[in-house]
Amino acid sequence: MTRQDLNAGYQIAQSCHSVADFAYHLPTFFNNWRTNSNYKICLAVKDEQSLEKLYNKLKERGAPVVAFRELDFNDQLTAITLYGSEEYKKYTKYLPLAGKHNGAVDRVKALVSKTSDGGFESPSPH
């Protein structure tokens, strides 16, 4: 999970950092995820305060979760990675997908149009 107040590029990068830290700090959970599931979803909260609150709530409940703080952003909390399970779903099910806040999904949809045969075509380059 990352922050909506970061642009889509930073959301992706910070989420990747967080996953790498998760694999390093919780290798048993990471290996179990990789072997048995391999599902992932990238969600976002409003801002750093919201992310901190969610992280603390999950940590207090014993969730396998790792926080990533970006040194280039004055050590701000920018992303967390949670080993998802039904037990912790109630804390994240209301969150929107990451990248959506900045209109990234809508801009991509606007650049791609459906063809008459149901396929898609990209706009021609300028």
For the chain, 126 residues long, give each residue's pLDDT as a single digit of tens: 999 999 999 999 999 999 999 999 999 999 999 999 888 899 999 999 999 999 999 999 999 999 999 999 999 999 999 998 889 999 999 999 998 754 444 433 433 444 455 544 444 443
The CA distances from residue 12 to 85, 86, 125, in Å, are 22, 25, 26
Residue type, 99: G
SS3 47: coil
For the chain, the structural domain boundaries read 2-111
Query: Which CATH code of 3.30.230.70, 3.40.1800.10, 3.40.1490.10, 3.40.50.720 fits the domain covering 2-111?
Result: 3.40.1490.10
